Amino acid sequence: MADIFDVVADATRRDLLSLLLEHYVSTDSDTGELSVGEIVEKLGLSQPTVSKHLKVLRDHGLVAVREGGQHRYYSLESTPLEEMEDWLIPFLSADFDPSRIDPEDAEAAAAYIAWSGAEVGEKVGRAVAEQSYRAITVLHGAQTRVSSSIRRITQR
């Protein structure tokens, strides 16, 4: 766990992760991947700096890499970050005071209370997160296939 915190303590690596996340959730993204060149351009950093930080992120499982010819394409791997989240949640919810909940937000607060510490809430939270991830993955895959089909059709 300490290694992951050391990795994300670096502002440049956090910027890289944020960029990959932003690209993954954007509607313009077919694969969620960015080439090193695209990352260099978007962050305004040198290629050696970007490559060095991507290597650290890759070594700790925070990004995946795919080689395509002379290019490397990177995408976000969220599993190690989910482990960090699991560790952080008890600290973030320690001062949570249910008596200060706005009645209009009671439903959301109840979900948060269940998610943030109770064994049942943890199981439900994990199940919801897993299903959400699966749904995003399916939608992302469908978007990729549709985009590929559209490109093939327009090329004809």
Q: How far apart are CA 42 and CA 15, in angstroms?
A: 10
- Which H/E stretch holds residue 128? helix 119-155
pTM for the full predicted model: 0.60
- Write out pLDDT tens, residues 43-66: 999 999 999 999 999 999 999 999
Q: For the chain, which residues score pLDDT lower than 70?
A: 1-2, 27-29, 96-138, 140-142, 147-149, 155-156
Contact between 54 and 12 (Cβ < 8 Å): no
Measured at the CA of 98, the angle between CA 95 and CA 102, to 5 degrees, comes to 120
- Write out pLDDT tens, residues 84-100: 888 888 887 777 666 66
Q: Cβ contacts of residue 54 below 8 Å, gap of 6+? A: 16, 36, 39, 63, 65, 74
- Cα→Cα distances 17→12, 73, 136, 140, 144, Å: 9, 14, 18, 18, 21
Give me the domains of the chain, ranges plus CATH numbers.
2-76 (1.10.10.10), 93-155 (no CATH)
